Structure 1
Amino acid sequence: MITCIAVDDEPLALRQVVSYIEQTPFLQLSAKFTNASLVKEYLKTNAIDLMFLDINMPDLSGMELAKSLKNPPKIIFTTAYSDYAIESYKVNAVDYLLKPIEYNDFLSASTKAEDFIKKDTLLKTEIKKTGDYLFIKSGQKHIRINFNDIEYLESQKEYVCIHLVNRAPVKTLIRLKNIEEVLPQENFMRIHRSFIVNLNHIITVERNRIIYSDKRFIVVSDTYIDQFKEFISNNFFS
């Protein structure tokens, strides 16, 4: 069963989405909201799989909410406007439904989300953590990787490329958020939707960029910049 929430400031539109959720056997409604700001607080203490999210809402828009979440659930946007379609895929939305929404389109988008969630669950089982290292599956091999040898991790669609110190990168079929859950939080920080860095291997920071070499650098995204600046101020002399 996929747990989900519905978010829309228009009561009629919210009732329609809730009705569609109730008609869909593999979906279970956990909560509904007319205010996106309340969703952030709810997600701090409640784990859900999927969010049906309206874009145009007062105070905090659905797009702003999606960008502000560090580990968002799967998202299906619901809106009366087509202008945000490209932007929605930049935040890895599963689908984008235009109002008025037909149930067939709702079911198709929900089924797509179900496939993604099932794949996430299967991929998560590939990580084996023990002490200060983990084993990951790469092709037909199971490879031991010491946490201290990891320079940074890069999401590449359904794969994660683990960049290592003095070793060739290792690529594994897994989601970045799944591997993030087993990394030591005191040593690793997500600084972009697609990157997690080992704080122990940061040597040079220029503005909002972590410099590894003349050709390799990572830009810290706006979503994570405050947390990263706090780390810099606590560990670097100004």
Structure 2
Amino acid sequence: MQFSFILVDDSNDFETTLEQIKQFDDFLCVAVCQTKKEGIDKILELKPNVVFLSINDGNESQGSISFSLLSELHEYLEELPTIIVLSDVKEAAYEAYQRGVTGFLLKPIDPNELRRCLFRFQKTHKALFADKISIKSNGDYNFIKFHDIIYLKADSNTTDFYLKSGKVVTAFKTLKHFEKLLPFFFFRIHHGYVINIDYVNRINLGKNSCYLDNNEIILPFSRTYKENIDTIIHRIS
């Protein structure tokens, strides 16, 4: 099982922090944000399991990354993702726990402390995701593992699931309905397509084409979802 995370960090050493977290294969980076606004936007859009929030000093200058990010998130979300605060200021730990964050790590990050923090998260969130989706079609229920789905295709008010086995399962609900039920490794790239990025082999920006399943499947992507394409490239790279 993989968990998604976002790093919100405007410090000069954010790349070092990112590399430390990426040592843990069960945690997949979906975005790195270097402003408070970008952090809020990406958290609301991508709904990560974990947010690493870097608080590097006590300054609350306008637009800087600070604890005020948590207050703004509460305006939109009933429940926040797991927040782990990173700081080079030891005194920030008190405010962090006052605000109900899950963890606090002092910079420079001790790899052993990071490991303990992430292992605690995994232990308490084993049931965070189901690994299957239920698809009903005329009284016939198909229970399909997410990792067996290559892509989904919209067809009027129905959705076709294209599976690794070569089978196609049709569901009598819209693509938009299923998009909300899919885990974080599915991305919409076109009005008519949602793909599982585990099957992406190639992206050609010049041809607006996405190649899946050993280049056997070629799907178009549209400018509307170009930001999702950029995120896929960033994640795979």
TM-score interval w.r.t. the shorter chain? Answer: 0.3 to 0.5
TM superposition score normalised by structure 1: 0.47
TM superposition score normalised by structure 2: 0.47
